Amino acid sequence: MLNDLKPVVPDLPSWWDGPPTFDVKPLNSATRPDFERFAVVVRFAHAGTGEQIRLRYQVFGTTSFATALMSAEQTALGTSLSGPKAGDQVLYYNQDAGRGPAPYISQALVRVGETVIVVVWARVDAYATTSSLGKVAATAATRLKSSTSGKLHVSPAPSPEPALVAPQGPDLTLLGTARLPVEVVAQMLVYPAPTEMTGFFHHAGVTDFVYGDYAVNADTRMEILTAGFTFSSPTGSKDWITAFYGGSSGLSQGVYLNFESDTGQYVGAFGNGTRGVLVVCRSSAPDEQAGRSCESSLVRVIDGWRASLAG
């Protein structure tokens, strides 16, 4: 999907994939409307700036629900800006966030049958043109139609190595897995020097990783993201933890676990030999810090996962 941005961003190599969210039950099960079946969120970040593009695919129970949502948004936000056609129905709006590093928010809402795709483009200095935003919206709608009609066939991903996904237990519910480029790891951590981190992984023989998205059962508002790596060196996991967490007070007996106040996330890292695991617990709500419910869940999951790696 990152390549789909090429027509609208002149410096594509400086854009990075972010971690997706498989927004299905039980994540946010207490507050999810009954008529929303599930959603998937994909993210892209412009390195060195606060600019971001985010797409949320919301799937409703019926087309009438999706159409009603579009009508409600139009009533709330007013007359749509003029822009390219996309999907079955499309609305365009600009909104000033009034704060943050990228306050110029351009938004497209595209309906394709019972699905509404919300495209958000947050820019630093000006709103995105509706022609550029429309290209992203139209591409997303076309790909969705091709997928649901059977025209687009994707080879099924191989099953991830069991040691690189969290053991099945009472603390987490798996929402989805994927194999992602290692560049995504820095975005998961909101790491201040993403190129440096990515360079370390490439030097250690890691180009991609097994990604896991989970809901915390004790508090389904919390989301856990995991990354399972396979290093080329038998000391790869130890070298990784030493390089990035060796001087931290959060490191104990080879396991790093800490609440990082600058990002509002709990972060854990551990490994055994060639295998390493990163876990991040955060709130599924934007701009909200992770809750204390993450702590006990992470401790229990890490203990069980370490035993799995050792086995």
CATH superfamily of 162-310: MucB/RseB, C-terminal domain (3.30.200.100)
Confidence of residue 12 (pLDDT cuts 50, 70, 90): confident
Euclidean distance between CA atoms 231 and 274, whole angstroms? 5
Per-residue b or e along 96-128, where b marks 16 or more CB atoms closer than 10 Å to that residue's CB? eeeeeebebbbbbbbbbbbbbbbbbbbbeeebb
- Average pLDDT in the chain: 94
Q: What is the per-residue pLDDT across 92-126, written as a single tens digit (0 to 9) for each?
A: 999 999 888 999 999 999 999 999 999 999 999 99
- The predicted structure's pLDDT at residue 154: 61
| Rounded CA Rg of the chain | 20
CATH superfamily of 2-149: PknH-like extracellular domain (3.40.1000.70)
Q: What is the per-residue pLDDT across 130-150, written as a single tens digit (0 to 9) for each?
A: 999 999 999 999 999 988 777
- The predicted structure's pLDDT at residue 151: 66
Confidence of residue 302 (pLDDT cuts 50, 70, 90): very high
**Burial class of 165 by CB neighbour count within 10 A (0 to 12, 13 to 18, 19+):** buried
Residue type, 191: Y
- The predicted structure's pLDDT at residue 32: 85
How large is the average pLDDT for residues 43-64?
95
Q: Token pair of 18, please? A: 């972010």
Residue 227 has pLDDT above 90, yes or no: yes
- The predicted structure's pLDDT at residue 197: 97
Whether the link from the prior residue into 194 is cis, omega within 30° of 0, is: no
Q: What is the DSSP code string of 93-129?
A: EEEE--SSS--EEEEEEEEETTEEEEEEEEESSSPPP
**Residue matched to tokens 């370490």:** 306
The model carries a pTM of 0.92
Every domain range in the chain assigned CATH 3.40.1000.70: 2-149
Every domain range in the chain assigned CATH 3.30.200.100: 162-310
3-state secondary structure of 193: coil
End-to-end CA distance of the chain: 37
Confidence of residue 81 (pLDDT cuts 50, 70, 90): very high
